Amino acid sequence: MTDDTPDDTAPAPGPVVVSTRAELRDALSAWTLSGPEPTDRRAVVMTMGALHDGHLELVRRARQEAGPTGQVVVTIFVNPLQFGAGEDLEKYPRDLAGDVALLAGVGADLVFAPTPDVVYPDGDPVVRVSAGRIGEVLEGAFRPGHLDGVLTVVLKLLQLTRPDVALFGQKDAQQLLAVRRMARDLDLPVEVVGVPTRREDDGLAMSSRNAYLSDAERTSALALSQALRGGGLEAAAGHGVAAVLATASGILNAAPDVVVDYLALVDPATVEEVPADHTGDALLLVAARVGTTRLIDNQAVDVAPPQEDDAAGQEATRD
């Protein structure tokens, strides 16, 4: 006899994987026609693949945002527009089968994994999105055109997937701000949600590029998160902007194989550097090369007003 008892140990079915615009339209329409509940939403998570638990945390959050019977779409696309000359486009890690297997366990319904000719059917687009001033400082200064390429592909993927909500990691703080400004300035009908950075047990921010690090470089890379924590403690103690940057810089400069591109304390709404007498919310950002691998990280800090002893000392110095 055949045992028809449901097997509770059987793996959940994986997400539907599509690669063309027509397949994507059909998959999106099928969900719409299935009669979702009024509170259900479509949530999208945009990735370049080589997924790690930081990405999976975005998908878990997307599942919450979409609702139990909402639709969670994950895009996997290594976007050539956001890679500059000499960057790692060709060697960027790719593992679609492994990515889909991971997504099966975190609530993804649909994976859109197009090739460049699907996203850019006419080749490099003539019309692109400009990140404006946000794209000219920090990451924009070290990677000219990078954020323009990010915003261009994000806008295209938003148009193709038509989500109610789009989720981005806070590790790419400048990117998140640029996407939010684009959505606001261009009146895009999407809610942009930032999700906190996922870290390894030792504090290193999760990144697909961590796979490039040797064991020694992996140890050196911890200087980024340690510098952010050190600067955050100075901010909380009311020691001021200069002390925040000096402490963080000292930790970075003491680490072997770490070459800093920038370390900045910025306004979280504009990414402009805060003045020396700033107090209140700020964002401490770092980008550095560890060996040949470029990493970024950031931490929100609250710069407390100077303590009375510090303030008195500063006044005496001025006198």
Q: Is 52 known to sit in a ligand binding site?
A: yes
Q: Is 146 known to sit in a ligand binding site?
A: no
Q: Is 113 known to sit in a ligand binding site?
A: no
Q: Is 170 known to sit in a ligand binding site?
A: yes
Q: Is 141 known to sit in a ligand binding site?
A: no
Q: Is 132 known to sit in a ligand binding site?
A: no
Q: Is 51 known to sit in a ligand binding site?
A: yes
Q: Is 82 known to sit in a ligand binding site?
A: yes
Q: Is 1 known to sit in a ligand binding site?
A: no
For the chain, the three-class secondary structure string (H helix, E strand, C coil) is: CCCCCCCCCCCCCCCEEECCHHHHHHHHHHHHHCCCCCCCCEEEEEECCCCCHHHHHHHHHHHHHHCCCCEEEEEECCCHHHCCCCCCCCCCCCCHHHHHHHHCCCCCCEEECCCHHHHCCCCCCCCCCCCHHHHCCCHHHHCCCHHHHHHHHHHHHHHHHCCCEEEEECCCHHHHHHHHHHHHHCCCCCEEEEECCCECCCCCECCHHHHHCCHHHHHHHHHHHHHHHHHHHHHHCCCHHHHHHHHHHHHHHCCCCEEEEEEEEECCCCCCECCCCCCEEEEEEEEEEECCEEEEEEEEEEECCCCHHHHHHHHHHHC
Choosing from 55, 146, 239, 278, the catalytic residue is 55
Q: Is 249 known to sit in a ligand binding site?
A: no
Q: Is 207 known to sit in a ligand binding site?
A: yes
Backbone angles phi, psi at 259, to 5 degrees: -120, 115
Maximum distance among all Cα pairs of the chain, rounded to whole angstroms? 95
Q: Is 208 known to sit in a ligand binding site?
A: yes
Answer yes or no: 146 catalytic.
no
Q: Is 50 known to sit in a ligand binding site?
A: yes
Q: Is 71 known to sit in a ligand binding site?
A: no
Residues annotated as part of the active site = 55
Q: Which residues are annotated as a binding site for (R)-pantoate?
A: 82, 175
Q: Which residues are annotated as a binding site for ATP?
A: 48-55, 169-172, 206-209
Q: Which residues are annotated as a binding site for beta-alanine?
A: 82
